[in-house]
Every structure is written in structure tokens, then in C-alpha cells.
A and B are shown apart, each in its own frame.
Chain A
Amino acid sequence: MSQPRSGAVVALAIFALVGAIFAAVSTADFVAFLDRQVHSVTCSFVPGLGAADTTGTSGCHAVLMSPYSAVFRASTWGGIPISLAALSVFAFLLFRAADLLIRRVAGDPDETRFLVAATLLPVLVSAVYLTIAVLRIGSLCKLCVGIYVASLGVFISAIVAHRGAARTAPRRSVPWGAYAVAFVEGVVFVAVPVLLYLALKPAYTSAMANCGDLIHPEDRYGVRVKLGGPAGGVPAIEVIDPLCPACKGFSERLAASGLGARLDPEIVLFPLDKECNWMVSESLHPGSCAVSEAVLCAGPQARDVLEWAFANQDKLREAGKDTKRVYDLIRQRFPELGGCLGRPAVKARLNRSLRWVVANSLPVQTPQLFVRGQKVCEEDTDLGLDFVLARLLDRPQPGGGAGR
């Protein structure tokens, strides 16, 4: 065993260990949310040293809560975290590298060829997830970047190790049987933790799903805004604040889940801005009263205004201390709403929207989703959304009525 060859395998082991640490931290963060409570999220290139994200504003939080952080979300609450599979793969690579070093066969080209094949998986998955993070989520997570780098590191190390081994070793037939055994070992490394995770994770009980119904679902105030859903879609009401980051994230998760397309959504505006909302002593999202007026003024174009507001939340919240500035920003983008904004009629309608929330004794928070009048629990609006929504949508509609 020459020094450079074992050096590449040592490097592979180190990269695998680093990848395993990043994946382990990410998995631990994900698993913590199985208790259906709110947790901070680790977001650092050096896990354990950086400050955790307690506000939910980091890229790590956005990625963790995105529909891409787990698979089989509609089948089990929260799904199976993709980082758990990553942890298993890095642990397997660490095991393979350590095994080669202990058995002193780091220069065996049959062994290093398998390493190249095995490290191809994380590097390909990392490439796919990097693309998703940039193009779909629009945020990069530091832990994920650590995993991407480690994936690339193990792959390059494996290639270097194999090139060194292949250069000196005589040609011989490929040991398919040994590769099959090694492959099965890899499968066991992934399957055992995943099965353990599924076996131990908390069960979702019917009691957990019961978060109440709307007391007065009727729209006697005429405040619900239709967003336009498919014909025959399941009636749903979203209580939202157009400048609330959680509402934006929720809207994106709903769209990405694919289940949102089966809903016939209406929104009720509930701006958490003391400018118009007497239920908050401080404006959590300054400017959201003015933006809510714009949504009400827009009528059939409400969805356009809402999407614009979601896309420009930071800018609008920053301007929010001065309502006139928010009105100006709205008028720049939607000049046709200028004659409606700030008028008593729309202010009164927005007030009735808040009173609809009062009439239903809803909690002072956003977002809230009601499907056929039944509330989707707050704890189920992030990781558990796909699972809970799929169950609600597949449930037969009682009496065939609207049930809003």
C-alpha cells in the first residue's frame, strides 16, 4: 500500500466524516420537529459554533421546511428526511474507507472502483439538490452546502484513490459478487436507520388532527376573497397576512405539495399590523393593513396583488412604518388601485374581515387554513402539511354541501 493511495482514502474518510456530521446535525434538527413544537434550526458552516436560527428566517429553515427536505410526506407525517439518507450514505462511505485502511487494501483497484461508484450517488444527489435550492427554494442552507462540499470531496478522493490503484495493479475480472455484497451493505446502512425512524416516530392520532371548526363559516360580511380554484375543488379558507413570512412559506409549501391545486381557496385577510388591527399592540408586519386593502381593492386580480406582496415582503415591511409609502409602492405596481386605497369603504371592509376572525374566535396568528370548515392544526402547516392535507382532501365531503 503506497502512501498517496492510502492518503486519498484517508481524505475520503475525512470528507465522509464531515458529510456525516453535517447530515447528522440536519437530521437531528428535522427529527426535533416530530414533537410538533417550534425549534431553532442549526445554520452554520461549523455546526455547534454558529448561532441557531430561532426566527425561521434563514436559508436552513426555508430548506428544512420546504417540500424537498423529505420524501413520502403524504404517507407519513413529516416524511422521511432526505438528510437521514445522506447520513446513512456518509456513514457507509466512512465505514468503507476505514475498512480499507484497517485491512490495508486501500490500493486494491477493485475496492477503489466500488468507492468511485458509491461516491457517485451523493455527488449526483447534491447536484440535484443544489439546483433545487437555487431555482426552486431560492435559499441556500449552510448545512446543505457542507454536505455538497463533502459529497464532492468523497467523489474526488475516490477517483484519486482509484487512479492510483489502477495504475499499478494488473487487469483482472470485475468481482461482481463482492460488489453485490458491498451494495447490500450499503442498502442495509440506509434501510436500518430509515426503518428505525419509521418505527419509533410518534404516531399521528385523530386527537392531534382536531383543532376545531369555524363557528361562523358564513361570509355575511362579504370579506372572503376568491383566489380562483379548479371547478369542483375542495372549499378552503386561508386566514393570512400578506406581509407575514410564514404565510409566504406556507403558500409556497402548499403550491409545491401539489395538493393546493385540488383546493378552491378563499382568503380572509388578517393583517398583524396595529394600524388597523386592534388585537396587536405592536405591528408584527408593518404595512400589511395597506397591502390588505390593495388585495381587497383588486377584486379578480387579488391573486396578482398577493403574489406581488409575497415577493416584495421585505421591501413593503420596511416601508410599512409610513402607510403613504406603502400606498405609493402599490400604486407604482398597480396604478388602477389608486382610487380605492385608503378610502373609507375599503377600510370598513378590511375591518369586517378582522371582525370575521373575531366572530370565529380564531387565534391571533397567521397563517391558518380551514378545509371544509375544519382547521388544519398549526403544527401541521409545515412538515406535516402534505400528510394532513392529503387525509383531509381524501375524506368524503359530509352531505355533499359546501361546508365552509
Chain B
Amino acid sequence: MKPNKAHLALFLVVLVLLSGMVAVWVHGAASRLADLQSSAKGPGTAVASASDKGYCTGALKQILRRVLTSCGLITGGSQRGCQPVQARSVAAMSGDDFNALFVPLADRAAIIQFDQDSAELDSGAIALLDKTFAAQRGASYFLVVSRASTEGALSYNRELSRKRAEAVLDHIRSKFSDPDLDQEVGLLWLGAEYAQLDKEFCQWQRSRPDEACTTAHLNRSAFIAWIDCRL
């Protein structure tokens, strides 16, 4: 069992081959890593962010920003919600154009209906409100636009629509302990004097789908919608 020169030569040859392979592999990995570190980083993994849907055009964002700022959301002021006159002036558009803003939100919106002269949420309204609010997905803002039908005095309708908006907000606040609530829910109460819903909105999701859909029924309501726009 005595080693000879052939043994030694073979030993060295195999060992060098083995070591050479390892050196090439490891050196290759080290070179690739060095290249990676020296080169500028390419587009990495997407970063988590709120939704910004295609319908969030510059014009829509501008109006949304004005509405939200004036209604106390973005600035976080003491004011909570916009009255009809304010809503009209900050939106700076006709009632029909204002309503048209919400058309792209059809699948994210719902109409919470109330009895005449009432701001009380019934079971159907609560169920639809819960379902709609829970389906926030990546949206940043939740708008509550409440209205009243044209019966009654202007000031009474303003007050009634304010109560309807606040009923919605109160329910959301009690049901969902969302720390961002004050930064994401915007209230607009329009009474019966601005941007009344027309019958086209009968096709939208309503809390009383089996009830007759007249403009009076439609406007005894709070229109709610998540807005998938980043401002």
C-alpha cells in the first residue's frame, strides 16, 4: 500500500480539478453579486399603495380636492361636512355635472334610502351600508352625499339631509372602529336644492330595490361611494 509518484500525481490532479471547479463557481457568484451592486437598480417590486383608478382624471381630482378640502377632510379642520351652498360653490358646476362625476363609480356606490321625513336607517339600509363600507379595497375617500325630496321647506330639507348624512357617519363610526375615519369620510348634505338625482340612478344599487323608484324616493337618500383616487 505504498504510494508512488503516479499516486501523488493523480492525487494532485484530482484535487486541483475539484478545487478549480469550486473556485470557478464561487468566483462566478461573487462577480455577479459585485456587478449587481455596482449597477443601478432596475425597476424593483411594486410598492403597496392606495388605488388610483383610470377615472381619476386631473379634472376629477381637482374637483375632489376642492370638495374634500372645503368639507373639512384634507385640512382636518373643525368643520365636518359641506352644506348645499358650499358644495355648489366648491364644485363650481351645475347639479347635473356634479352628479355626472359619480357615474364612473357605479360599481362602488350605493344609495341608502330613508322614509319621508326620517333620518333613521332601516335594516336594509344598514346591511347595504355595511357591505359598501367594508368593500373599501384601496380607496382613500368615502363620500356621503345626502339629499331630501322636494316636499317641505328649503331649510327643513337642508336639516333633514344633514341628519341623514350624520346618521350614516354615526353608524359607520360605531360599527367600524376605523382610526382613519375622520380623514376618509366626507359629508355633503344637499337638501333638495342642488344636484337632485334623476331616474337614471334607479339602476344603481339601492337599499330598497323592491320599492317604487321615483325621483322623490331616490332623493330621500344618502348616496355613498368609495373614491379610488389618490390626491
Contact = CB atoms under 8 A, between A and B. Distances in A.
Given A36-B33, A348-B133, A108 B45 contact: no
A193 B19 contact: yes
A401 interface: no
Interface in B69-118: none
A37 B30 CA distance: 11
Contact of A361 (B1, B48, B180): B48
B54 interface: no
Interface string B19-60: 101110111111011101100000011111111000000000
B131 A344 contact: yes
A196 B50 contact: no
B30 A278 contact: no
B179 interface: yes
Interface string A40-79: 0000000000000000000000000000000000000000
Given A348-B133, A348-B134, A221 B2 contact: no
A152 B175 CA distance: 67
Interface residues of A, number: 63
B231 interface: no
A347 interface: yes
Given A95-B14, A103-B6, A202-B29, A344 B133 contact: yes
Nearest to A113: B1
B178 interface: yes
B36 A35 contact: yes
Interface stretch (B135-143, B199-207, B217-225): B135-143
A354 B219 CA distance: 35
Interface SS majority for chain B: helix
Interface residues of B, number: 50
A364 B23 contact: no
Residue with the greatest number of chain B CB neighbours at <10 A, chosen from A28, A108, A111, A181: A28
A95 B10 contact: yes
A289 to B, nearest CB: 11
B11 A111 contact: no
Contacts of A108: 1
Given A111-B1, A278-B138, A345 B176 contact: yes
A192 B50 contact: no
Interface stretch (A84-92, A224-232, A252-260, A302-310): A84-92
Given A192-B15, A344-B130, A178 B2 contact: yes
A111 B47 CA distance: 63
B67 to A, nearest CB: 22
B18 interface: yes
A130 interface: no
Contacts of A357: 48
A98 B22 contact: no
A129 to B, nearest CB: 21
Nearest to A33: B29
B203 to A, nearest CB: 24
A94 interface: yes
Contact of B15 (A34, A36, A189, A345): A189
Contact of B30 (A88, A202, A207): A202
Residue with the greatest number of chain A CB neighbours at <10 A, chosen from B46, B48, B134: B48
A185 interface: yes
B48 A103 contact: no
B51 A278 contact: yes
Nearest to A352: B178
A236 interface: no
Interface in A354-403: 354-355, 357-358, 360-365
B22 A193 contact: yes
A201 B48 contact: no
Residue with the greatest number of chain B CB neighbours at <10 A, chosen from A28, A31, A92, A189: A31
A399 to B, nearest CB: 25
Nearest to A270: B48
A336 interface: no
Contacts of B14: 91-92, 94-95, 98, 189
Contacts of A362: 47-48
A351 B29 contact: no
A105 B51 CA distance: 77
Contact of B137 (A36, A197, A278): A278
Residue with the greatest number of chain A CB neighbours at <10 A, chosen from B29, B51, B131: B29
Given A31-B25, A110-B1, A87 B18 contact: yes
A33 B178 CA distance: 43
Nearest to B180: A355
B29 A35 contact: yes
A175 interface: yes
A200 interface: yes
A34 B21 contact: no
B3 interface: yes
Contact of B25 (A27, A103, A276): A27
A32 interface: yes
14 contacts: A28-B25, A34-B26, A88-B18, A91-B14, A94-B14, A95-B10, A103-B7, A201-B26, A222-B177, A344-B176, A348-B133, A351-B137, A354-B48, A358-B50
Given A98-B10, A348-B134, 9 more contacts: A34-B29, A34-B30, A88-B18, A193-B22, A221-B178, A278-B138, A351-B137, A354-B138, A363-B45
4 closest Cβ pairs, A-B complex: A344-B134, A278-B138, A34-B29, A363-B45
Interface of B: 1-4, 6-7, 10-11, 14-15, 17-19, 21-23, 25-30, 32-34, 36-37, 44-51, 130-131, 133-138, 175-180, 228
